[in-house]
Amino acid sequence: MKEALLGAASWVIDYLEIPNYLNVRTRGLFQGEKTYDCEERFWRDVLGPSFHGARAKNSVTREGDVVVLKNFQLSPWCPRLPGLYWTSAGRRVREITSHRLKHSKVLGIHFDPYGKKQRMARGGLGTIRLSKHDRLRLYGATTSGKLDAAVPVLVSSNVAGNLLRFSRRYPLMEVDLRGSLRIIPRTYLPGHGSPHVPKICLYVNSILNEKKYISDFALSANAWTIYHDPRAQNTEKRFGYTYCHFNPVDESSIIKATGWISEYIGEYTKGRGFPLTDYDEQTCRFESAVLPLADIMKGNIDYDALGSLFAGQIDFRQQAPFCEPGH
């Protein structure tokens, strides 16, 4: 009986990850906690001088700080370029390209290829969904509803399982989270990276550090791809960028957005183009993609061979998650 009780107690301690909980709470008590009720304030403190609004001279929230997110919406879709949306450069790009609108019968009102490229590559638009790696899973936390602008949240396997069970009943969830800021693990950084994109996330490693609530707050994400037109006479036009918004809790919306992207590529390449990249590791959305997100994350891409195939016209390493695209 005693052994059974000890075994049960040990299981509870491991499942709740009580030592991790106590570590974060103790550090918070002695060092202080920073509480945020919106991602704009979070990114202002992380980005410092790079933030687009009232700028701080220096970043005041850094790796190792204990942070609390209050009343955030949580989604398995997270920003491809965390924080870039909130930079002064990202905002400026979205503003100066806001007039580059076109209209067609097939696509409706949309941005032209230059506008799409700048808004995605430099403006911070685009989301991804990743699988579990090293028993960790990445989420996006937002109060604005825009997952391109979200805070990346890395959770332990037990926390991920708890969130998944809740989301099966309630796809939209609001959460309170407590954790420490850390650099996104190398497992999630297969590319070279960019100095313009912060590699920081909130790490939550105990079920006791998260609270969940049912939500009806609408979220928006952006499907995206980089595409190739092999017959374009102008070298700069051989590679294009495009994206389309979707409802992240509606599979039909994701399928529709993926289809719209294919139509966009067809219209602007006269049917010759094809997608190079994918945005969903869990479900391949573009079968013809030469850079499936699942293969990128598993390290199965021969970048040198791809570079030779496309005559070195694009640095494919810079198309990986959390890497700002090159030219």
List pLDDT tens digits, range 80-91.
889 999 999 999
| Tokens, residue 303 | 């970048």
What pLDDT does 231 receive?
A: 81
- Per-domain boundaries in the chain: 2-83+129-214, 221-319
- pLDDT band at residue 56 using 50, 70 and 90 as cut-offs: low
| Tokens, residue 161 | 């399982």
What pLDDT does 327 receive?
A: 38
Q: Is the pLDDT of residue 93 over 80?
A: yes
List pLDDT tens digits, range 16-25.
788 888 889 9
**Closest-CA residue to 42 (of 136, 125, 140):** 140
Report the predicted TM-score, pTM, of the whole model to 2 decimal places. Answer: 0.89
What pLDDT does 326 receive?
A: 47
d(CA 154, CA 74) in angstroms, rounded, equals: 11
**Closest-CA residue to 113 (of 275, 3, 267, 252):** 267
